[in-house]
Amino acid sequence: MTRKKQHTHQYVRTYPHAFGASPIDKTKGVWACALPDCTHFMPHNVADMVEGKLSLCNRCFEKFVLTRELMGIDKPICNSCAHPEDQLPFDAAEFMEVKMNIARKRGVPLEQIEDAEVHAAIETRHRMGL
């Protein structure tokens, strides 16, 4: 009996010749773990079950959840690697503006506003396209 070490698989899509697979027909790809000491793979007939599972990013090796969109490439990368433009550069002026807004709305001094809260508010603003 081999003891399986629990880890988050690093999913990549492979095209085993044995299955008559080729990168031209993505539907024949098999999702397998890229880690050297792991032989895990998702059999073709349940390949869709990879969706929604945790995987390690093939670029930054952070954990992320596989989505259909991210599974569009053979070596899926996480959302922040796939969409670096979403990772907005820190805007000090905006940060101050939002922080002051929150403080004013609440009628409390600036020091009482947590940075994390400001970041969250900025994120919401951007998501709403403001």
- For Zn ion, the binding residues (CB under 5 A) are 9, 33, 35, 38, 40, 57, 59-60, 77-78, 81
Gap between the Cα atoms of 79 and 49, Å rounded: 19
Nearer to Zn ion by C-beta: 53 or 59? 59
Q: Closest approach of Cβ 105 to Zn ion, in Å?
A: 35
Q: Closest approach of Cβ 41 to Zn ion, in Å?
A: 9
User: End-to-end CA distance of the chain, in Å?
Assistant: 57
Q: Do 13 and 50 contact (CB within 8 A), yes or no?
A: no
Q: Closest approach of Cβ 63 to Zn ion, in Å?
A: 9
Q: What element of type H or E holds 105?
A: helix 92-106
Q: Closest approach of Cβ 112 to Zn ion, in Å?
A: 35
Nearer to Zn ion by C-beta: 9 or 99? 9
DSSP string over 92-104: HHHHHHHHHHHHH
* DSSP one-letter code for 33: E
Nearer to Zn ion by C-beta: 60 or 108? 60
Nearer to Zn ion by C-beta: 69 or 117? 69
- Give residue for tokens 């000491």: 37
